[in-house]
Amino acid sequence: MADKDTVNIITGGKSKATAKFESGPRAYWLRHSSDEKKWVAVAAQTHDHTMRVARVPAKTFYYEATPFVDAQVAVHSYYGLDDLTLINDVYNFEAEALGQKMIYGKDAMPTIDFRDPLIKKPADLLQLKTPDFKKDGRFPYQMEVFRQSIEIGCNKASFCGPFSLAVGIRSYPLLVRDMRKDPSFYNDLMTFLVDEVLFPYVKAIHDETGIAIMSGADAWAAFPNLSTELIEENVLPWNLRLLQKGAEIGVYAATAGTADYFEERPEKFDADILKKCLELGVRSQCAPVVFMGMGRWQDYPLEPVLEFARELKEKQDKPVMVMAGINARVLRDGPVSEIIRYVKRMIDTFAPEFNLNIFLASIPADTPSAHVHAAVQATHYFGQLPYQFRDEASFKLQERESFAEFMSKIDSL
C-alpha cells in the first residue's frame, strides 16, 4: 500500500475532483482545498452536528444525497476542516436493506429497532438474500452520496463492519450468546454477512463509482464492548476475510474502529489492554495506523500509545500514522481552554515523530460552534509543520462569524 493510501484510510483522502462548481459550498471547498500539508490535518465525524448547524431536517438529510453533501461540505468549510468525512448513519444501510426493522425519527437519524432483531432464531438466516444495491433500502441515496463525493475530490466510501452489522440484525445479547454457545451459527452468520452482503456491497460501490478505498465502521467491536480475546477470535478474522476479498478486486475495504479503546472509567485504564487494542486495530486495517477514537483520551496517559507507535515504526519501513481522537463529550461540554489543551497535548506528544491527524470523534448535535472552531484553530496553530513546540499562551483564538453569515458570503471568500 502506498503511503498516501495509509493516510487516506481514515481521513477521507483527497483526490482530483471530477466536476466544476460555479458557486456554493462545493465551489468554496474546491477553491480552498489543497494537498499541501501546512499543518497537522483535522477531520471530523459531523453528521448529527451538521444537520443541526445547517438546519436540514432529518427527513431530508438522511434521504437525499444532494442536500446531505451540500450541508456537509458547507459545515466542513465553515470550520476549516482539512478533509471531508461524508459519513452519515453508516451502521444502518446494510441492515435496513436486509429487512431489519428501523425507527425513523423526525429529528434524528434512522435507528435500528433492537427490540425486534431480523434474526430472532438461527433458521431466520436462511431467509436472507443479498440486497439489490441499486434499489433496496436507502442504498440509492448512499451510492449517490459516494458518487457526489468523488466530484469534490473525496475518493472514499464507508460501510458497516461485519461484527457491527451482525449486532444490527441479531442484537448484541443474542449475538454474544451465539459466540459462546453456538459458534457454528455465529460462523454461518458472519460468513453470510461478509460473502453475501458486505463484499457484494463493496464491489457494487467500486463498480458504480470507481472508489477503491473504503472504511468500515465498527463501534460495536470497540473495547470493552468486547474483550480483546473475543475481538481477536470472533471479529478480526471476518474483517480480514473482507479485506482479502476486496484486495482480489483491487479494493481496500478495511474495518476501522475495531478494538477502539473506550474504557469509561479512567481508574480502570489498563496499558496492556490498550496496547493489545492498538495492535488489533493495526491488524484489522492491515496498515500502520494507530487509532485513538472515541475514548477518554483527555484522561488516559498517552505514553503507552507513544511506546506502541514507536515499536510499530521500528518494525517496518512505512510511516506510522497516528489518528488522535478528540472526545465527543469534551467537544460538547468544553470549556474552550480544555479543548485547546487537549489538542495541544496530542500534537506535542505525537507530531514530533509521527504523521498525526486529529479526529473530532462524532461531534454531538448541540456542540457550540465555538468549541469546534477552537479545536480546529488549535490544531492548525500548534500543529504547524514542520512541527515546532509552541507555548500555549502564544495561541490567540480568532472569533468567527456565525454559520449563516459565513454562508451569506461564501461565494466571495
Partner 1 sequence: MTEIMDELKKAIVEGDEDLALEKLEECLNAGEKPAELLEKAVVAGINEAGRLWQENEYFLPDVILSAEAFKAVMAEMGPKLAGADVKSHGTVLIGTVEGDMHDLGKSIVIAMLSSAGYQVHDLGVDVPANTFIEKTKELKPDILGLGAYMSTTMEFMGDIIQRLVDEGIRDQVKVLIGGVPTSAEFAAEIKADAWGKDALDAVEKANQLLG
Stretch 347-376 residues interacting with partner 1 (CB under 8 A) = 362, 364-366
Question: Quick one: which of 59, 120, 180, 315 contacts partner 1 (CB under 8 A)?
Answer: 180
Is 273 a binding residue for partner 1 by CB under 8 A? The answer is yes
Nearest to partner 1 of 108, 286 (CB atom): 108
Q: In this structure, are residues 208 and 248 in contact, taking their beta carbons and an 8 Å threshold?
A: no
**Number of residues engaging partner 1 in binding (CB under 8 A):** 41
Distance CA(30)–CA(261), nearest Å, equals 35
232 binds partner 1 (CB under 8 A): no
Residue in 44, 41, 49 with CA at minimum distance from that of residue 359: 44
Distance CA 57, CA 52 (A): 8
The residue (of 105 and 352) whose beta carbon lies closer to partner 1 is 105
Asked if the bond preceding 110 is cis, omega within 30° of 0, the reply is no
State the minimum distance, in angstroms, from the CB of residue 284 to partner 1.
Answer: 18
Neighbours of 365 (CB within 10 A): 16
Q: Where does this chain touch partner 1 (CB under 8 A) — which range of 21-29, 108-116, 133-141, 239-247?
A: 108-116
Given a contact cutoff of 8 angstroms between Cβ atoms, the answer to whether 224 and 262 are in contact is: yes
For residue 243, give Cα distances in angstroms to 169, 281, 304.
Answer: 22, 13, 28
> How many Cα neighbours within 13 Å face the side chain of 377?
19
Per CB under 8 A, 179 contacts partner 1: yes
Residue 178 is a binding residue for partner 1 (CB under 8 A):
no
Among positions 289-308, residues that touch partner 1 (CB under 8 A) are: none
343 binds partner 1 per the rule CB under 8 A: no
- Residue closer to partner 1 (CB basis): 140 or 224: 224
How many CA atoms within 13 Å lie on the side-chain side of 46? 30
For position 233 contacting partner 1 by CB under 8 A, the verdict is no
Q: How far is the CB of 227 from partner 1 (least distance, A)?
A: 4
**DSSP H or E run through 253:** strand 252-255
223 binds partner 1, rule: CB under 8 A: yes
**Contacts with partner 1, residue ranges (CB under 8 A):** 48-49, 51-52, 58, 103, 105-109, 111-115, 172-173, 176-177, 179-180, 223-227, 230, 264-265, 268, 270, 273, 328-329, 332-333, 362, 364-366
